[in-house]
């Protein structure tokens, strides 16, 4: 990978540290555990071929929201190890040519952070205005006569407590704002001192060698300075009956993103190696996510597109989502795709269908790793880890506890420990230790070790796709032309390098016409059958592209690489074809 645009070439792998590998026998994953598993990604015969990691939060925290309530931004929680452990992890990752980005959770802190302890102590404290406070709306009539506290400032809602997000502070007799829980007060990004402190937090980890950040809820940073009520919405999930026009996606947020980009550019200017910003834009509208990338490369490098992640199993629905994303990104941004993460159900379980689940997982993997854009994998995705329904007494996630018995809203099911082998607790922790969250009961037959031994496993399919993507520039940086847009539940597209590329990445999201022979270096045809339909031969618009002698199969689910695929090839249910067109 080049130093500059390495993040365009990379396949990212998200690690939820509590659940990846326990090294000290306390039942909780940690940083030394991640370090011990780095050869799994790169540098060994059995490595997956991953060259970029995203590690979720490991900072000191009371763990009300499992690390997303941070009490110290410049240290490591003892549960996960030490600052020296993080330095060791970075050094070993660098030796293996693995880039590492970490979570930046700066929309809010823990209520135990020293900044907030100062802020809540007195109205006159210098840190007071580092957070969002409001005296409330005055009472009238009998309520005023009874001396009741002021009414809450507005109707903004807490996502995890499912009630008003303003919390009374009896010491100073004002409300503070916390849109996730009362234990996560939100900072005031309009305060220049707060901003300087946060940018110094960024510099701290960049100085240690981090390659960038995944930024939590970046579009929530700025709130309406008039504290206006959000209007009503009929959408319950994820909007909770509000149109969030005053507490999210405020225009001033783009100024903050530009300033954050300036911080990373300081480091890029020193050695030419990009330190990147990947934004969680918590919104299902792709245009909102794209807006944080499309300002002449001055804001985020990447923003997650949750519309793609939310699609049902349908070739046409995926096509429409992809098309919307490419159109929103335009020529200024660079796309990315993900199917699962720590907050969303694993797609292996979402797309399950008796007799077809593994086959669907292969199709999904092929789509994710051959589309134009940077792919993000979630730990265990490569072996088909499934969601686990957690019993009420075992729940850990505050949202899951609050929403019980509506168990499907909790996030524990997708956070179970990594399944390494068939030993007790799947090799995540020692047999005599109880893991923080129960391991999925299918680990005995579904684990890394077993799938590494089976050349036909899902693990080897992911490994082959990653290797193919790494070896073929067309798949990393080529243009994309959609040839079949979901008709018959088949998605097909051609990847090609247009004239004038000279080996350089083209415009993000371009879906133009290749013309002639498909540009310099030929092209690659990807055919994905999402359905159970058996086609007697390839759809005619695809068959017409194949030469008389057939096209070389680079990778497929039903035939060996090197096979010549003819125009009359029968397309099997859930078949994947990746073909070279000379």
Catalytic residues: 216, 266
Specify the residue for token string 């020193």.
Answer: 270
Structure tokens at 244: 């969030």
Instruction: Please name which of 148, 126, 128, 129 lies closest in space to residue 138, comparing C-alpha atoms.
Output: 148
Measure the CA–CA gap between 179 and 244, rounded to whole angstroms: 12
Local structure of 229: helix, strand or coil: coil
Side-chain-side CA neighbours of 194 within 13 Å: the count stands at 23
Half-sphere exposure of 571 (CA within 13 A, CB side): 26
Is the four-CA dihedral 558, 559, 561, 563 of positive or negative sign?
negative
CB neighbours of 346 closer than 8 A, spacing ≥ 6?
340, 378, 380, 381, 385, 386, 387, 413, 414
| DSSP label of 386 | -
Return the structure tokens found at 521.
């270096």
Kindly write down the DSSP assignment for every residue of 48-107, as one continuous string. Answer: ----EEEE---S----TTTTSS-S-TTS--TTT--HHHHHHHHHHHHHTT-EEEEEE--S
3-state DSSP call for residue 214? strand
**Torsion, Cα of 509, 349, 10, 201 (10° steps):** 100
User: Over 446-514, what HEC string results?
Assistant: CCHHHHHHCCCCHHHHHHHHHHHHHHCHHHHHCEEEEEEECHHHEEEEEEECCCCCCCCCCCCCCCCCC
> Residue 115, CB half-sphere, CA atoms under 13 Å: how many?
23
Give the count of alpha carbons within 13 A of 305, CB side only. 29
What Cα–Cα distance (Å) separates residue 535 from each residue in 29, 31, 359, 426, 465?
A: 47, 49, 17, 41, 24
The distance of Cα 16 from the centroid of its chain, to the nearest Å, equals 11
Distance CA 355, CA 343 (A): 27
């Amino acid at each position: 990978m080049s130093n500059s645009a390495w993040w365009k070439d990379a396949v990212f792998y998200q690690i939820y540290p509590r659940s990846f590998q326990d090294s000290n026998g306390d039942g909780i994953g940690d940083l030394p555990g991640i370090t011990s598993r780095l050869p799994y990604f790169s540098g060994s015969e059995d490595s997956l071929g991953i060259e970029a990691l995203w590690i979720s939060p490991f900072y000191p925290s009371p763990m009300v929201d499992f690390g997303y309530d941070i009490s110290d931004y410049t240290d490591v929680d003892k549960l996960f190890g030490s600052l020296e452990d993080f330095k060791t992890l970075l050094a070993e990752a660098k030796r293996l040519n693995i880039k590492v980005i970490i979570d930046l959770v700066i929309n809010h802190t823990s209520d135990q952070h020293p900044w907030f302890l100062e802020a809540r102590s007195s109205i006159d404290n210098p840190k007071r205005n580092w957070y969002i406070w409001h005296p409330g709306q005055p009472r009238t009539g009998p309520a005023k006569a009874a001396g009741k506290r002021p009414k809450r400032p507005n109707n903004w809602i807490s996502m995890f407590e499912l009630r008003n997000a303003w919390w009374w502070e009896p010491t100073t007799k004002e409300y503070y704002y916390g849109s996730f829980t009362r234990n996560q007060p939100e900072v005031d990004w309009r305060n220049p001192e707060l901003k300087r402190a946060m940018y110094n937090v960024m510099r701290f980890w960049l100085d240690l060698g981090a390659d960038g950040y995944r930024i939590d809820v970046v579009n929530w940073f700025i709130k309406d300075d008039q504290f206006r009520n959000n209007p009503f919405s009929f959408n319950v999930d994820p909007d909770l009956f509000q149109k969030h026009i005053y507490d999210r996606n405020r225009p001033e947020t783009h100024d903050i993103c530009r300033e954050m980009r300036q911080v990373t550019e300081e480091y890029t200017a020193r050695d030419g190696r990009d330190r990147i910003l990947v934004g969680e834009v918590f919104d299902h509208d792709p245009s909102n996510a794209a807006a944080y990338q499309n300002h002449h490369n001055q804001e985020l490098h990447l923003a997650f597109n949750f519309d793609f992640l939310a699609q049902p199993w349908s070739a046409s629905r995926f096509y429409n989502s992809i098309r919307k994303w490419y159109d929103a990104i335009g020529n200024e941004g660079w796309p990315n795709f993900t199917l699962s993460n720590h907050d969303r159900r694993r797609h292996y379980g979402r797309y399950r269908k008796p007799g077809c689940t593994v086959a669907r997982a292969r199709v999904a993997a092929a789509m994710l790793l051959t589309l134009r854009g940077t792919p993000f994998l979630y730990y265990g995705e490569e072996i088909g880890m499934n969601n686990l329904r957690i019993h009420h007494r075992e729940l850990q996630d505050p949202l899951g506890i609050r929403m019980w018995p509506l168990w499907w809203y909790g996030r524990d099911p997708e956070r179970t420990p990594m399944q390494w082998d068939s030993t007790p607790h799947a090799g995540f922790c020692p047999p005599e230790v109880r893991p923080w969250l129960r391991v999925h009961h299918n680990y005995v037959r579904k684990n890394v070790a077993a799938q590494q031994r089976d050349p036909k496993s899902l693990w080897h399919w992911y490994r082959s796709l990653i290797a193919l993507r790494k070896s073929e520039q067309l798949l990393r940086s080529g243009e994309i032309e959609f040839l079949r847009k979901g008709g018959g539940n088949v998605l097909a597209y051609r990847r090609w390098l247009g004239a004038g590329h000279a080996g350089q990445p083209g415009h993000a999201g371009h879906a133009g016409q290749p013309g002639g022979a498909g540009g310099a270096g030929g092209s690659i045809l990807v055919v994905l059958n999402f359905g159970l339909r058996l086609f007697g031969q390839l759809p005619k618009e695809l068959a017409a592209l194949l030469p008389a002698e057939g096209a070389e199969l680079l990778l497929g689910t039903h035939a060996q690489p090197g096979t010549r695929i003819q125009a009359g090839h029968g397309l099997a249910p859930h078949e994947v074809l990746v073909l070279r067109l000379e």
